[in-house]
Amino acid sequence: MKAVHQVLNREQQRLDFQGALDALKTQDERNRMGQFATPTALALEILSFAEKIVPHGEQIRFLDPGFGTGAFYSALLRTFPASRIAAAAGFEVDPHYAGPALELWADTELDLHMADFTRQQPLEGVFNLLICNPPYVRHHHIVNGEKARIQAASARACGVQFSGLAGLYCHFLGLSHAWMVEGGVAGWLIPGEFMAVNYGGAVKRYLLDKVRLLHIHRFDPDEVQFDDCLVSSAVVWFRKEAPPADYNVQFTFGGTLSNPKICRMVPASVLRVEPKWTRFAQAQVHTGQEAPPLSDFFTIKRGLATGDNSYFILTASQISVRKLPFQFFKPILPSPRYLPQTEVMSDENGNPILNYPLYLLDCNISEIALKNHYPALWSYLQEGRERGVAKRYLCQHRSPWYSQENRPAAPIVCTYLGRSNLKSGRPFRFILNHSRATVTNVYLALYPKPNLARVFAKDPSAVRKIWETLNRIQPQTMLAEGRVYGGGLHKLEPRELANVPVPELAGLLC
């Protein structure tokens, strides 16, 4: 218990140091040296994850080549029992941080060097756990012949020559290779940009050819978990061992390392040919298109975002009580929750036959003209203004604010949010729409492309056949294109639905 207290106190002390030391530097100085410390929670998460990957019970020999004040070392002490830590070492070039860190950790077994890691003769094959948030120093800040020296040193250490545009963090990765024991595990907190930009090509080759890539986690920029400078970061895990001919790499996105929002296994063979690894984990892996995707037949659009459904969508009786002019309303389907059927029939006017039909206000006439000719609607608009509807983001960006985007009725619409554990086993439903009702953005609307529209014109019964075909698509095929959120909620974006392969439709357009 006492030991736990000591470690916690030490972490608090370290954070105090870190804050005070950072405050003595300008942002520009810290940028040039890549001095942005890892938050305690993230360091702990990374070490806890490491604990699950390193072989059970193995003695740990830890290295952090860009030590700072020791966020990872501190987390190591909190994660592994002292009896398992056989060695721990670090390098920190800047005395501003190295000095206080040496003092802070003086009574521990840590072997901390106040030195430039890029100039070290590697202590080969010693360390079996390398954790690092390397300095993110852009290549143009590596000057005076340093770039060529570091490039040559990292190529010697890992066997891959990084581009002249690669930042210092790439060279840290390459240089560290020589320090690791065969079978050792590395976890790198690095900018995710290497997955998408040209200079990252050599980094990706290193990860695929020189080690066995295990896992890449990207944080979701929309989830503000850590400092801004970390939101586009990735945690890259690998084991130093010759990679097998083909194997799967885990890509995760969002949430936390151990509890991500999205997870996908991607074969290394796919990564070799995919220029943008940032597609994963969200995007589906395509191994050569075997069947035509839905996008060959349909243009897929999300339904209308009205800006305020409770204001713009009314029942027939609300319209008649308020004496609103019916010509400014068009039928709209209720949300999937209130639409259990998979086929919507129509009356002779194209209105959907539903228990509670709904109508969307969509008008292009100016308020002045409405005031003169349709005072009831004008009053309703004033009510909307009072309710703040006109000030809503979407409404403000429309002219007039009570007009809607053009989203004609689609013959087939699809629900795109659902759970896979339903009795039907089908999280998404295709609905055959005979009416002229449009949909809101809780549906995806499928508009036939000209080639398919011609088929429909010739043979009206073809719509039904296609709709039946779509409802026969295996749930797994659709789930594989989409994404899954915590709690098993599946979602398909328009582009993801467009990617769903439909072999049964292949012969249709011949």
Ligand X SMILES: C[S@@+](CC[C@H](N)C(=O)[O-])C[C@H]1O[C@@H](n2cnc3c(N)ncnc32)[C@H](O)[C@@H]1O
- Which residue, 117 or 401, is less far from ligand X as judged by CB? 117
| Binding region for ligand X (CB under 6 A) | 33-38, 64, 66-68, 71-72, 91-94, 97, 116-118, 133, 135
Residue with tokens 């002249």, as numbered in its chain: 164
CA 113 distance to own-chain centroid: 37
- Which residue, 135 or 411, is less far from ligand X as judged by CB? 135
Closest contact distance (angstroms) between CB of 27 and ligand X is: 14
- Residue from 87, 149, 74 nearest 119 by CA: 149
Q: DSSP letter string over 491-507?
A: E--HHHHHH-B-GGGGG
238, β-bridge pairs: 186, 213
CB atoms within 10 A of CB 371: 14
Query: CA 15, 16, 17, 18 torsion: positive or negative?
Result: positive
Closest contact distance (angstroms) between CB of 18 and ligand X is: 7
Strand 127-132 versus strand 180-191 pairing type: parallel
Classify residue 39 by burial, with Cβ atoms within 10 Å: 0-12, 13-18, 19+. middle
CB 254 within 8 A of CB 459: no
Classify residue 164 by burial, with Cβ atoms within 10 Å: 0-12, 13-18, 19+. exposed
For residue 477, give the 3-state DSSP assignment: helix
- Which residue, 142 or 294, is less far from ligand X as judged by CB? 142
CB 221 within 8 A of CB 244: no
- Which residue, 8 or 229, is less far from ligand X as judged by CB? 229
Taking CB atoms, the residue at the shortest distance from ligand X is 68
- Which residue, 10 or 490, is less far from ligand X as judged by CB? 10
CB atoms within 10 A of CB 103: 10
Q: What's the token pair of residue 58?
A: 């193995």
Closest contact distance (angstroms) between CB of 46 and ligand X is: 9
Closest contact distance (angstroms) between CB of 437 and ligand X is: 55
Closest contact distance (angstroms) between CB of 92 and ligand X is: 5
- Which residue, 36 or 251, is less far from ligand X as judged by CB? 36
Closest contact distance (angstroms) between CB of 391 and ligand X is: 43
- Which residue, 71 or 339, is less far from ligand X as judged by CB? 71
Closest contact distance (angstroms) between CB of 72 and ligand X is: 6
